Amino acid sequence: MDGLADLQVILDSGSCSLIYLQDNYMPVIHPQLQNDCVLLGRFTLCHLLLHKDSNYPWFILVPDRDDISEIYQLSDNDQHQLMTESCHLARILATHFNADKMNVAALGNIVPQLHIHHIVRYKHDAAWPAPIWGKVKMKPYAEQQLDRLVEEIHKLALIDFTFVS
């Protein structure tokens, strides 16, 4: 790559940047998701993010594919893998957090990159039974609270998952 560092940001299309890494490229998580979330790691297909809003245990899967805004745009194999990862994550979260309900949704009205929200809901949470968007002000995690939650997530039996260091 012309003697430049192996890692180069080369394109920012507004929906997804591309990064070249030793002649291969991979999609980058949309800037809004990067701002709102902490990257925990990745499954076979998807990155796993933790939303910084402590009002709800809120996780987001982001498939590692370019220019995809809808599930149907994924290949058949990727659609199957996404459903496998999503169902596995929802089951683990519902059990671990003793959820009354799991809200799983792919909206994409603000962030055009395909991402699937996995939100643990309780009958006593601030927005119940309505959707969480716009109900209460975002409440960031305190640093120690976030560290404890990330530590908890490390102990979960996530299959085919690699944590970031």
State pLDDT tens for residues 30-49. 999 999 999 999 999 999 99
State pLDDT tens for residues 144-164. 999 999 999 999 999 999 999
Are the CB atoms for 105 and 59 separated by under 8 Å?
Answer: no
Please determine, for residue 13, whether its predicted confidence score (pLDDT) is greater than 90. no
CATH number at residue 131: 3.30.428.10
Are the CB atoms for 41 and 161 separated by under 8 Å?
Answer: yes
Residue 114 is assigned to a structural domain of this protein = yes
**Chain centroid offset of residue 16 CA:** 15
For residue 104 the two structure tokens come to 């799983």
Could you tell me the residue range of the domain that residue 128 belongs to?
Answer: 30-163
Residue 13 is assigned to a structural domain of this protein = no
Q: What is the dihedral of CA 105, 114, 28, 15, to 10 degrees?
A: -120
Residue 8 is assigned to a structural domain of this protein = no
Residue 59 is assigned to a structural domain of this protein = yes
Residue 2 is assigned to a structural domain of this protein = no
pTM: 0.84
Residue 11 is assigned to a structural domain of this protein = no
Q: Which amino acid is at 124?
A: H
Residue 68 is assigned to a structural domain of this protein = yes
Residue 7 is assigned to a structural domain of this protein = no
The number of folded domains in the chain is: 1
Compute the chain's Rg from CA coordinates. 17
Alpha helices in 53-155 (DSSP H): 76-96, 143-154
